Amino acid sequence: MAFAILGNPSPQFVDSSGSPYASGTLAVLDPADDTNKASYPTYDDAEAATNANSNPITLDARGSCDLWGLDGDDYKLVLKDAAGATVNTDDDINLSIKGQFYATTSAETSAGVTIVNSEYEPGNVLRYGTNTTPGTTDMTTAIQNAITVSQAVYIPKGTYLVDELVPVQDSLIYGDGQGFTVLQRKGTAPLLGSSSAVTGVSVRDLTLDANSDYTNSVIEFAAGSNDARLSDIEFINFDSGSASAGPVVEWESHASTANERIVLERLFFNGTVAPTTNYQSIIVYNPLKLTIKDNKFIKCGDIAVNSNPSYGTTQLGDIIVTGNYFEDVDATNIIVRLAGSQKIENVVISDNTFYEVSSTNNKFAILAGGHQTATSGGTFRNFSITGNVIRGINANASGVAIGDSSLGATEASGFVVSGNTMDGRTAAGAINTGVITQRGIQSFGCSNVAISGNTIRGYQSFGIGISTGSFVGVSGNVVAECVRNASAGANECGIYVTQATTTHVNINGNTVVDCGAANNHGGIGASSSASITDIICSGNSVDDTRGTPLMPYGIIFGASCVRVTLGVNSVLNAQTTDIAGSGKVTYTPTNVVTDRAYNANAAVNGTGIDVAAVTGTNVALLSDHDALVAVVQELADVAGTLIADLQAKDLIQ
CA neighbours within 13 Å on the CB side: how many for 563?
A: 12
What is the predicted pLDDT for the residue at 271?
84
Q: 163: helix, coil or strand?
A: coil
Q: Which residues contact 567 (CB under 8 A, 6 or more apart)?
A: 536, 537, 538, 539, 593, 594, 595, 598, 599, 631, 632, 635
Q: What does the DSSP assignment read for 174-190?
A: EES-TTTEEEEE-SSS-
Contact between 576 and 553 under an 8 Å Cβ cutoff? The reply is yes
pLDDT, mean of residues 50-58: 94
pLDDT of residue 642: 62
Which pLDDT score, from 0 to 100, does residue 334 have?
Answer: 85
Going by C-alpha positions, the residue among 380, 448, 455, 393 that lies closest to residue 418 is 455
> Has residue 590 got a pLDDT over 50?
no
CB 232 within 8 A of CB 198: no
Kindly calculate the radius of gyration of the chain based on its CA atoms and give it in whole angstroms.
Answer: 35
Q: Cα separation of 247 and 181, whole Å? A: 22
pLDDT of 580 strictly over 80: no
> How far apart, in whole angstroms, are the C-alpha atoms of residue 160 and residue 135?
5
In tens, the pLDDT along 125-176 reads 999 999 999 999 999 999 999 999 999 999 999 999 999 999 999 999 999 9
Q: How far apart are CA 21 and CA 5, in angstroms?
A: 19
Instruction: Specify the range with the lowest mean pLDDT, choosing from 49-63, 471-485, 515-529, 611-625.
Output: 611-625
* Nearest Cα residue to 356 out of 456, 435, 292, 423: 423
Asked if 471 and 645 count as a contact pair (C-beta separation under 8 A), the reply is: yes
Residue 278's pLDDT is 66
Residue, of 584 and 461, whose pLDDT is higher: 461
Tally Cβ neighbours within 10 Å of residue 61: 8
First to last CA, the chain: 64
Q: Residue ranges of the alpha helices (H) in 174-292?
A: none
420 burial (CB, 10 Å; 0-12 / 13-18 / 19+) is buried
480 contacts 513 by C-beta, under 8 angstroms? yes
Q: Residue 612: pLDDT band by 50, 70, 90 thresholds?
A: very low
Bridge-partner residues for 412, per DSSP? 380
- SS3 of 378, please? coil
DSSP state, residue 246: -
| Closest CA relative to residue 578, chosen from 624, 618, 630, 537 | 537
Give the chain's mean pLDDT.
80
Contact assessment for residue 300 and residue 288, using Cβ atoms and an 8 Å cutoff: no
Predicted TM-score (pTM) of the model is 0.76
**What digits encode the pLDDT tens for the residues 226-271?**
999 999 999 998 875 555 567 899 998 887 888 999 999 999 998 8
pLDDT at position 607 is 42
Residues of the chain with CATH 2.170.14.10: 2-98
Beta carbons of 237 and 210 less than 8 angstroms apart = yes
Q: What are phi and psi of 632, to 5 degrees?
A: -60, -40
Q: What is the C-alpha to C-alpha distance for residues 624 and 628, in angstroms, rounded to an integer?
A: 6
Q: What share of the chain is helix, strand, coil (3-state, %, to 5)?
A: 10, 40, 50
Over residues 265-293, the pLDDT tens digits come to: 999 998 887 666 667 889 999 999 999 99
Higher pLDDT, 616 or 80: 80
Candidates 2.60.40.10, 1.10.600.10, 3.40.50.510, 2.170.14.10; CATH matching 2-98? 2.170.14.10
CA angle 368, 263, 183 (to 5 degrees): 115
Dihedrals phi, psi of 149, to nearest 5 degrees: -105, -5
pLDDT in tens, 86-96: 988 887 776 44
pLDDT digits (tens, 9 = 90+) for 498-537: 876 788 999 999 999 998 887 667 899 887 666 788 888 8
**pLDDT higher at 307 or 8:** 307
Nearest 10 degrees: CA dihedral of 454, 457, 461, 463?
Answer: 20
Q: What percent of the chain has pLDDT over 70?
A: 77
Q: Find how far residue 494's CA is from the centre of its chain.
A: 28
Q: What is the DSSP secondary structure assignment for residue 138, as one 8-state letter?
A: B
Phi and psi dihedrals of 53, rounded to 5? -65, 155
Nearest by Cα to 193 from 216, 159, 161, 227: 216
